[in-house]
Amino acid sequence: MATNVATTNYDPKTATVNALNEIGYKIFLDRYATKDRRKGAMEVGDTVVVCTNLETSQREIGTITKIADEQITVRLRVDGSEVMRTDEHVDRPVETDPAQMHARLAKGMAAVEPTQKLRKFWEAEFRAALTDWKFIPGGRILAGGGTKQALTYYNCYVLPSPRDSRDGIIDVLRSMNEVFSRGGGVGINLSSLRPRYDHVKGVNGRSSGAVSWGSLYSFATGLIEQGGSRRGALMLILNVWHPDIEDFIVSKTKMGKITNANISVGITDDFMTAAREDKEWQLVFPDRDDPDYDEAWDGNLDTWKAAGKKVKVYRTIRAKELWEQMIDSAWASAEPGLFFMDRYNAMSPSAYFAPILCTNPCGEQGLPEWGVCNLGAVNFAKFVKDEYQAQTAHTTEEAIQGVKWDELRQTIRAATRFLDNVIDATPYFFEENRKQQLSERRVGLNTMGLAEMMINLGIRYGSPEGNQFIDALYEFFTVESYRMSTELAAEKGSFPQFKAAKHLKTGFIQTLPEEIRATIKERGLRNVTLNTQAPNGTIGTMVGTSTGIEPFYYWTYQRKSRLGMHEETVEVYERWQATHPGQEKPDYFVTAMDLAPEEHIGVQAAIQRWIDSSISKTCNVPNDYTREQVGELYRLMYDLGCKGGTVYRDGSRDVQVLNLTESNDSNALAKQGQGSAASALATAVGITPRKRPDTMRGTTYKVPTAYGSMYLTVNDDEQGQPFELFTALGKTGGFFAAKTEAISRLASLALRAGVKIEEVIDELKGIRGPSPLWTENGMVLSVPDAIAQVLTRHIQRGQGELALEFKDGTSEPPLVTGPGDVLAGAPGIPPVRATADGTGAQLASGGTAVATAEKVRLADLGHAPACPNCGGTLTFREGCMDCTSCGYSKCA
């Protein structure tokens, strides 16, 4: 790799062009800047990215201060401390100025132009669009574009549905792992696989079903994540007519079979009608006695029926009942999402030659088999006139006047050509991907910074006026994209599968302005699709704007460093506060949780009107939202023309806990004093753990974890109280075996020293790990949490059900319990529920002892999924999990 990049004086703290905040600069250096990894290439004074936590792979920016004995000492920018690492844990970025990356990308994508004149012209145009983050290509393009590395520029792939055979299933697994190894995500539709318990002729056995094979793909994804990639992302879809659909719906909640994938149900128009009218619904599958089954069946039931082939009805249920099962699960865990498959194919410009099979993991790209995501985003926040900077509220017409339309047009044109050139510049690792993409030249130009733009223009996101503005903005965005594609077709030729008459009859193309349709008929079209809407979690966080089309999730957030947590504020809000000290913020400063759910969906529908692919968006709702309300939101998505979506009920993926304090307990101070005295006495005289008898009686439990089954033995003393515990997980001498043994030894020591078992449980429960796991008994957050759950079961084994139970999709919003001995709802303690703003509130009072809930956000208590990179809390938005603390995204 070339390393002779010119040095610059770029400083992210003072830069006015290509400015980045601290987290943005770290993301740029760590993920996207080219690196020089040659042995001995580093020198004192070099800016580097160093791994500060070898277990979680957390990385920080620093400067080399010393190199000695193969150890490199690095002073960290974040807090000035120093760490010492060997060179395999230190990367030296060749590019330390974003302008260097922009120059590489512009030159690399212009290189495929046919003449030197065009290469020179478009290199300058591309660089102008990239400068100051007006256009940000997808992460794979940022990392690989213009380098000589064998890196794909595509983020995600849809693989063919597996052939209904062992070889077919393994072939897809092999392709999936190849994609993951190169940092891509995968979508797979499982509907081609025979139902559970169906006969398997070759071995005279029974099939384990589509869900079981989906769990295999999920398991493989988890292995790759645990192996250090962190970029394996998987979407699994099963169509609503499949006989295994009911098992699939609960596969992540009750069954616990699929833990490392997003899941969605492929919904047909017939089903939506049947559910609305409370009609019966047949669960069917092709007749496998058909002589053409092995060769002809590919998962597409419509083409199977159209060929005159028979289907077998496995059972008939009420469509409304199946709909309610989906809604129950979505209410409980935000999954499955719904993918309106008939709607998608009816609107798809590729419907006449490449039907849509599945979506990518985040849901913004419905793709045919072997289709790819070719992504880049226009940053709307950069196209607001200087006089419009969140200073006052404006009408729709006034907001429209505040947009830099000419600059936006120029950027859209350059971005469209840039992404079309990516198709010719990228390496291809599957011949099938190359053939498919070159035949249709699919482009996914999308946006970010919409919410920041609307704040600066003074128009409220989600309001009717705001949606009118959005309609005008995205019409312009789409029309200019399509206009540029027609010019490219006239210059370079239409995509090979283009047939003008058929293309103009497809659903989305018929909705375009007549001017564009006439131009397509005259000139042709370079790309089968032009626009989509990706989450853009990592690149949006890098450039410091609102990600995708979402509003900001909150105005302040926590950053984690080696010195602890510190609070930061969203820049646009911080600027407004500086000029309006002490004033209440205007109503156009809205967060995701400020919006009514219907407003979320209204924005999505307004944008979907102008997007030929689909949209990755999450509809956030309060914790007390009912199943019926969640169901109505999904119906609203369908009725307003959306192609799919996800409803996320606040806290529905978390074990929810509130801290309770006894404010009116007359014995509280006495108890506190007793505890202090006991602590002082123990410190003064020392504590000698009880000796272990030669023979003890105990119970062994088997509990699933994300790292395999753990076996935990609890031995009791003569009074029947826990005395010691032993754990086994993984191979002796392995990392997880050592970790669990250490925990069990320390817990045993505490028990033998007289520490109450409840105290041990309180210390272990709720600890998060990078891979939470759904089980039949609830969520296991980590190995320590699994141990705490077993100990709780052990001491309550004669008292019925586990008190702190993770509710499934059949329960009401859960009562929230405290971390100590007192349970909400116990005698004298009023019940507490999670409230709409993510905090706890007392429902009732009574008795002499009154518990009050401290008003703290549930996510702040540490029970949301943990970021595998830095350990911060992951946020669920735009159909994806991402971390505002370090920029990690499951969909990056």
DSSP 30: I
Indicate which residue of 358, 362, 870, 886 is catalytic.
Answer: 362
Q: Kindly tell me the burial class for residue 515, based on how many C-beta atoms sit within 10 Å of its own C-beta (0-12, 13-18, 19 or more).
A: exposed
Indicate which residue of 155, 189, 345, 360 is catalytic.
Answer: 360
Hey, is 545 helix, strand or coil? coil
CB 660 within 8 A of CB 822: yes
CB 766 within 8 A of CB 781: yes
CB 152 within 8 A of CB 429: yes
> Distance between CA 88 and CA 90 in Å, rounded?
6
- 360 catalytic? Reply is yes
The encoded tokens of residue 708 equal: 């395999």
**b vs e for 622-654, b when ≥16 Cβ sit within 10 Å of the residue's Cβ?**
bbbbebebbbbbbbbbbeeebbbbbbbbbbbbb
Indicate which residue of 60, 95, 125, 364 is catalytic.
Answer: 364
The encoded tokens of residue 244 equal: 């295994």
- Alpha-carbon distances of 242 from 168, 199, 237, 272, 851, rounded to whole Å: 19, 16, 11, 15, 49
In the block, tokens 């919904």 appear at 267
Classify the C-alpha dihedral 583-584-588-590 as positive or negative: positive
Q: What is the Rg, in whole angstroms, of the alpha carbon atoms belonging to the chain? A: 29
Q: Which residues pair with 790 in a beta bridge?
A: none
Hey, is 339 helix, strand or coil? strand
Hey, is 186 helix, strand or coil? strand
Nearest to 592 by CA among 546, 543, 643: 546
In the block, tokens 């020089």 appear at 36
Q: Kindly tell me the burial class for residue 92, based on how many C-beta atoms sit within 10 Å of its own C-beta (0-12, 13-18, 19 or more).
A: buried
Nearest to 448 by CA among 551, 537, 548: 548
The contacts of residue 508 (CB under 8 Å, 6+ apart) are: 347, 348, 349, 612
Task: Give, for 189, the enclosing helix (H) or strand (E).
Answer: strand 185-189
Residues annotated catalytic, as ranges: 360, 362, 364
